[in-house]
C-alpha cells in the first residue's frame, strides 16, 4: 500500500508536512485497569494545551487563527473546523478527556501536548492506496453513527482510498469503516502541520508518539515526514 499526497494538495499548502507513523502487531484491546494511566496522560496533555491558549478570547489564539485561515483555502462543509480547534475548545471549557482505546488515547495526548491535528486509522481497512488531496465530489463518506452517506464536496481536501473518504476536511471527521477499534492490529497515524513552527513541533510530536507506543505496546513504529519533495510512502 502507498500513501500518496496528491499534487493538488501541495498547490494549496506548499509548506505543509504530513507526518506518518505506521505501527504493526498491536493489541489495542481496552484494559480498564490501565484507565488511570491513560486518564493521567490525557489530564497532563490538557494542562500542556493551555500553553497554546494565552489569549482569553479563544478565537484570537495563534493556533486557532492558523487553522481557521487554512480552512479558508479550500472548500469545506459548513461549520467544519480543524480537529485541534475542537480539542482546544474542550480544554478552554475545562472539559475532561476520557479514555477511549489505547491508540486513540495516545494520539489524543500528543495532539493536545503539541497543539497539532492528529488522527489514526486501521491499516487493514484501507482499500488500495491512501491519498490526501482534493475531492472530485461525491466520494462516499459515512461518519461514526451515521445512517446515510454524507459525500465529499468538489475541491474539499480529503484523505481517500478506493472505497471513498477516510477523512473529510483534512482530519476534521473520519469514516466509521476505517476507525481504530479494539480489534485493530496495524495502524497508520497522521500528524498535520502547515507552517515552519508547526513542522518543528510535528517532528517532536511524532517522536513522542513513537516513544509512547513503544512503551505501551512494545512495538516500534516507522515514522516518515511527507513533504512537497517527498510526497509518497510505501507501507
Rounded to 10 deg, the angle between the 83-92 and 62-70 helix axes is 150
Measured CA angle at 174 (ends 93, 2), to 5 deg: 135
CA 173/CA 29 separation, integer angstroms: 23
Position 145 pLDDT exceeds 90: no
Sorted by where each begins, the domain ranges of the chain are: 2-234
Q: Hey, CA dihedral for 179, 181, 187, 188, is it positive or negative?
A: positive
Predicted TM-score of the model (pTM): 0.96
Percentage of the residues of the chain whose pLDDT score is greater than 90:
96
Confidence of residue 148 (pLDDT cuts 50, 70, 90): confident
- pLDDT for res 224: 98
Mean pLDDT score, 162-179 = 95
The CATH number of the structural domain formed by 2-234 is 3.50.40.10
Position 72 pLDDT exceeds 90: yes
Confidence of residue 20 (pLDDT cuts 50, 70, 90): very high
pLDDT, tens only, 113-137:
999 999 999 999 999 999 999 999 9
Q: What are the start-end ranges of the H helices in the chain?
A: 7-12, 35-49, 62-70, 83-92, 102-114, 196-217
pLDDT, tens only, 211-226:
999 999 999 999 999 9
pLDDT, tens only, 90-113:
999 999 999 999 999 999 999 999
pLDDT, tens only, 34-67:
999 999 999 999 999 999 999 999 999 999 999 9
Amino acid at each position: 500500500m502507498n500513501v500518496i499526497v496528491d499534487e493538488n494538495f501541495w498547490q494549496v499548502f506548499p509548506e505543509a508536512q504530513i507526518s506518518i507513523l505506521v505501527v504493526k502487531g498491536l493489541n489495542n484491546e481496552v484494559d480498564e485497569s490501565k484507565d488511570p494511566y491513560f486518564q493521567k496522560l490525557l489530564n497532563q496533555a490538557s494542562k500542556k494545551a493551555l500553553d497554546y491558549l494565552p489569549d482569553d478570547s479563544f478565537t484570537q489564539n495563534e493556533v486557532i487563527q492558523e487553522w481557521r485561515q487554512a480552512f479558508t483555502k479550500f472548500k469545506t462543509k459548513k461549520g467544519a473546523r480543524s480537529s485541534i480547534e475542537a480539542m482546544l475548545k474542550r480544554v478552554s471549557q475545562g472539559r475532561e478527556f476520557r479514555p477511549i482505546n489505547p491508540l486513540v488515547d495516545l494520539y489524543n495526548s500528543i495532539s493536545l501536548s503539541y497543539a497539532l491535528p492528529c488522527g489514526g486509522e486501521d491499516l487493514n481497512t484501507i482499500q488500495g492506496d491512501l491519498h490526501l488531496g482534493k475531492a472530485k465530489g461525491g466520494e462516499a463518506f459515512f461518519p461514526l453513527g451515521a445512517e446515510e452517506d454524507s459525500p465529499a464536496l468538489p475541491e474539499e481536501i480529503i484523505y481517500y482510498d478506493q472505497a471513498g473518504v477516510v477523512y473529510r476536511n483534512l482530519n476534521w471527521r473520519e469514516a466509521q469503516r476505517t476507525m481504530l477499534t479494539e480489534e485493530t492490529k496495524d495502524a497508520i497515524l497522521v500528524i498535520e502541520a502547515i507552517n515552519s513552527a508547526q513542522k518543528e513541533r510535528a517532528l517532536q510530536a511524532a517522536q513522542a508518539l513513537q516513544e509512547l507506543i513503544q512503551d505501551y505496546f512494545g512495538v516500534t513504529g516507522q515514522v516518515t515526514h511527507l513533504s512537497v519533495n517527498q510526497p509518497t510512502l510505501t507501507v
